[in-house]
Amino acid sequence: MTVHDTHTRVSNAIPFSRPFRTSGELRNLVAVLDSDHAHGDGDFTRAASLRLQSLTEANRALLTTSCTHAQEMSIRLLGIGPGDEVIVPSFTFPSAANAIALAGARAMFIDIDPETGNIDPQQVEEAVGPKTKAISVMHYGGVPVDIETIMSIGDEWGIPIIEDNAHGLAVRVGVGGGVLGSFGAVATQSFHDTKNVHCGEGGALLINDPGLVEQAEILREKGTNRSQFLRGEVDKYSWVGLGSSYLLSEFNAAVLDAQLEEFDAIQARRFAVWNRYSTELADWAGEHGVRLMDPPHGIHAAHLFYLVMPDWESQSLLISHLRRHGVTATFHYVPLDSSPAGKRFGRVLQPLTQSEDFSRRLVRLPLWAGMTDDEVSRVIAGVTSYTDQGGN
């Protein structure tokens, strides 16, 4: 018996997330091994990039080693450096703020709209000023930020928008509306194995401003114009600017391409789980003063499902209760403005009370594409057996 079997037998707790596997990854990986082309920019990179461009309606999609690296590229591309400020939500993953700090600029942390967990445009309006060089937003759970207001603030001040779209691949903002990631000058995707579509570790930079494409290619290819050389546009390539090695390996691109091919099926399975939580937990939530994730117009990516508990204490009570029932639930981001690095590299105009409150009340439930009906039922039974007193 392997270690893995033992583990599965002893603890059959429902994990929080499990990477999805399609039927195509292995076939694609063998094709890469057989092709003798395992570095980036091979056939699978091309195929996956085209799929991404069509899913996201981005002008160009460049595969990168991670969403974090795509965020770093974004800040560099927009020429942001010391003395500059970038507006960023406090309730998000650290990558966006870290990229700002790495470039020597300062993060201006903004509070959220507790309805969605997304950046509050009102407070963006109050915070924007002459030092602001970009507005960085994140679509929490693939629920669109108020992009219209954010874009108009950007236009008014002549500054670009960066979308961290790690959660919201291919989400359309209403009928006839654009797709998340197609609004900002640049946007970033993550293919970390906790995301809807994954390749272990990986990401993409979506470029909507055509004027940034050439520089982005150089930045990604170690500061060289190798991308132009590969297209036959120059007869030699050389060091032409600053860059790093942000190119995704062809192995990862092969896995990513297989996953993107199954995108609709993956999303359908995730939505089925999400919809069961939304429907079957509604009565319990109403009785216990709990708010269920309820995206405006029902637009989201089925990336996550959360509950907002009535107070801070009940967050850990519910998580412990679920653990005793064999269900792994979890909180989410610690607000960046209160984190050790956030205090060093960022600032706030006022206490960000909504971010703190949301962070301390939110509980996320297990959600992955391969979840069985029985597993979903066990999660629902675990949640609904929780009472105000902390359950049994």
Query: Residue numbers of the site for ligand PLP (CB under 6 A)?
Result: 66-68, 92-93, 95, 138, 164, 166-167, 190, 192, 203
Question: Which positions ≥6 away from 174 have C-beta within 8 Å?
Answer: 297, 299
Q: How far is the CB of 213 from ligand PLP (least distance, A)?
A: 21
Name which of 138 and 376 has its Cβ closer to ligand PLP. 138
Q: How far is the CB of 133 from ligand PLP (least distance, A)?
A: 20
Sheet holding 60-64, edge to edge: 60-64, 203-207, 186-190, 161-164, 132-138, 85-89, 106-110, 346-347
Report in angstroms the alpha-carbon separations of 107 from 50, 75, 82, 194, 347: 33, 12, 11, 26, 6
Q: How far is the CB of 140 from ligand PLP (least distance, A)?
A: 8
Q: How far is the CB of 93 from ligand PLP (least distance, A)?
A: 4
3-state secondary structure of 161: strand
| Torsion-angle region of 345 (φ positive above 0: left; ψ -120 to 50: alpha; else: beta) | alpha
Phi, psi at residue 170, to the nearest 5°?
Answer: 65, 20
Name which of 206 and 290 has its Cβ closer to ligand PLP. 206
Beta 306-308 vs 291-292: how paired, if at all?
antiparallel
Residues in the chain: 392
Beta 60-64 vs 106-110: how paired, if at all?
unpaired
Name which of 258 and 336 has its Cβ closer to ligand PLP. 336
Name which of 164 and 337 has its Cβ closer to ligand PLP. 164
Q: How far is the CB of 69 from ligand PLP (least distance, A)?
A: 7
Q: How far is the CB of 221 from ligand PLP (least distance, A)?
A: 19
CA 175 to CA 208: how far, in whole Å?
21
Residue 98 Cα to chain centre, angstroms: 15
Q: How far is the CB of 224 from ligand PLP (least distance, A)?
A: 23
Q: How far is the CB of 388 from ligand PLP (least distance, A)?
A: 32
Name which of 18 and 37 has its Cβ closer to ligand PLP. 18
369 neighbors 382 (Cβ within 8 angstroms)? no
Name which of 67 and 307 has its Cβ closer to ligand PLP. 67
Name which of 107 and 166 has its Cβ closer to ligand PLP. 166
CA 15 to CA 222: how far, in whole Å?
39
Tokens matching residue 195: 């995301």
Q: How far is the CB of 139 from ligand PLP (least distance, A)?
A: 8
Report in angstroms the alpha-carbon separations of 19 from 15, 188, 258, 266: 11, 20, 13, 11
CA 194 to CA 191: how far, in whole Å?
8
Name which of 14 and 187 has its Cβ closer to ligand PLP. 187
CA 216 to CA 352: how far, in whole Å?
34
Name which of 80 and 380 has its Cβ closer to ligand PLP. 80
Q: How far is the CB of 143 from ligand PLP (least distance, A)?
A: 12
Name which of 203 and 243 has its Cβ closer to ligand PLP. 203
Report in angstroms the alpha-carbon separations of 298 from 91, 137, 142, 172, 270: 21, 20, 11, 11, 14
